[in-house]
Amino acid sequence: MATLKYKKIDSKDYKKLPTESGVYLFFNKNYKLLYVGKAINLKKRVASYFLGREQDPPAWPKPLRRGEGPRKQKMVLEVKYIKFITTQSEIEALILESQLIKKFIPPYNISLRDDKQYFFVAITKDVWPIVYLTHQIQKPRTEYIGPFTDGASIKTTLKLLRKSFPYSTIKHKNNRPCSWCHIGLCPVSEGNQKLYLKNLSVIKRFLSGNPSQIIKKLQKEMVILSKKEEFEEAAKLRNQIQKLQNIISHRSVVDTRNKPRVEIIKKIWKQTFGFKFPQRLEAYDISNISGLLSTGSMVVLENGKLNKKEYRKFHVHYDKKPNDVAMLKEVLARRLRHKEWPLPQVILVDGGKGQLGAAKRILAYYKLKIPVLAFAKGERVVFNSSFLRKINLEKLSEQIKNIILLADDEAHRFAISYHKKLRRKEFLK
């Protein structure tokens, strides 16, 4: 594990903690490590332990949070110092927390042996290894990565990794393809074992180490390949790096209860794109394999937060040769015919200039002046209907970048989930 640059404060000064994501460590007066935890917002999370402690003696005993009792109270009374380290995202915090718990085994972290509240990523040592989450670490010929305290976060991380580095979750008998193979998320059917094992190697390194440092190492490898004029391999590595950067950037983006922060985000948005921050943003994506069983998705962000009740899915009728631009035009036209649905202030489409132009033409047909953004994943740039120049994703502020990535990822996920459902129905006919 890499050497970490901790910042230390007295527990009484917990309000001085930053609002960034990261990992916090609780120590007693003798500098013994008591507990390790992660947070999307360090200040807010740590404050939940200490609110009410300002009195001497503190206004306890009472449970700190729902489901927490005397054990947590006892721990907090022992805490004298807090160390913390900020991270780029919750995913990095999750991985760092896992490393620290595994290395130090703090006494107030739940027992790794007796309880079943920790998660481990298991990777078998078969010819075609499978990947799965488990609470148990007893099976032979299996490698375990962890522990991870947050099941939802590690599941999200694995889903994001699978989109970019496909792996199998079930054993394949006689190399027969599974339903995941049909949608390109299981490479076993391709028979390329070398590529499959390389995908698993990246996943292991990503979950076991410091993601940012891994990306730096891959970037050095890419430079070496370029100098050797192995341009094809360098390009593949560049694409992997971009995908990993995208995964690291995945995080919660806007907390509407924090009004000053929301106002800052709104101001930055207006400066970046030239129009107001949307109360309602609709994001669209298309999913198909060679034009078959094509689907479209519409996901909605209200004030920067996902509203799944407003999601809509479309079974695309366009049945000519594969054409994502034509399919997007159909989806947008069908959506805009629903006058009972509230109109968005901004539309985000997955793609480049072609998808941007298609959306503009449909909006013009319906005489609607709604700004359109198009996110081209491969180039990692955003096109804006308000002006011609494209914006490099990495040059956007962290908050705006995360909104774009959240909306695009969710639209992609929702489109694929509906496509998978149609594929299963077709397969069972």
The full set of domain ranges for the chain reads 7-104, 119-248, 265-428
Query: Is residue 2's pLDDT more than 50?
Result: no
Question: What is the per-residue pLDDT across 161-213, written as a single tens digit (0 to 9) for each?
Answer: 888 788 888 776 555 556 566 555 666 666 678 888 888 988 998 898 778 77
Say if 7-104 and 265-428 have the same CATH topology. no
Long-range contacts of 71-77 (CB under 8 A, 24+ apart): 71/108, 72/108, 75/26, 75/34, 75/35, 75/108, 76/26, 76/49, 76/50
Q: What is the pLDDT of residue 425?
A: 66
Question: What is the per-residue pLDDT across 68-105, written as a single tens digit (0 to 9) for each?
Answer: 567 777 888 899 999 999 887 788 889 999 989 988 98
- Compute the mean pLDDT over every residue in the chain, rounded to the nearest whole number: 81
Pick the CATH number of 7-104 from 3.40.1440.10, 3.40.50.360, 3.40.50.300, 3.50.50.60: 3.40.1440.10
Beta bridge pairs of residue 35:
26
Distance of alpha carbon 264 from alpha carbon 169, whole angstroms? 43
More confident residue, 225 or 240: 225
More confident residue, 289 or 368: 368
**Mean pLDDT throughout 144-154?**
86
Q: What is the pLDDT of residue 91?
A: 86
User: Which amino acid is it at 114?
Assistant: D
Beta bridge pairs of residue 144:
122
CATH topology of domain 265-428: Nucleotidyltransferase; domain 5 (3.30.420)
Q: What is the pLDDT of residue 355?
A: 94
Query: Is residue 264's pLDDT more than 90?
Result: no
Query: Is residue 339's pLDDT more than 80?
Result: yes
Contact (Cβ atoms closer than 8 angstroms) between residue 323 and residue 304: no
Contact (Cβ atoms closer than 8 angstroms) between residue 284 and residue 349: yes
Query: Is residue 1's pLDDT more than 60?
Result: no
Contact (Cβ atoms closer than 8 angstroms) between residue 46 and residue 24: yes
Token pair 């599941």 in the structure block, residue: 155
Q: What is the pLDDT of residue 128?
A: 85
Query: Is residue 3's pLDDT more than 50?
Result: no
Query: Is residue 147's pLDDT more than 50?
Result: yes
Find the DSSP H helices in 105-210: 151-164, 179-182, 193-208
Q: Quickly count helices (H) and strands (E) in the chain.
A: 12, 15
Beta bridge pairs of residue 7:
84
Give the pair of three-digit tokens for residue 28. Answer: 């007693």
Query: Is residue 282's pLDDT more than 70?
Result: yes
Q: What is the pLDDT of residue 428?
A: 56
Asked, as a colleague might, if the bond just before 342 is cis with ω within 30 of 0, I would say: no
Q: What is the C-alpha R_g of the chain?
A: 24
Nearest to 152 by CA among 250, 286, 233: 250
Does pTM top 0.85 for this prediction? no
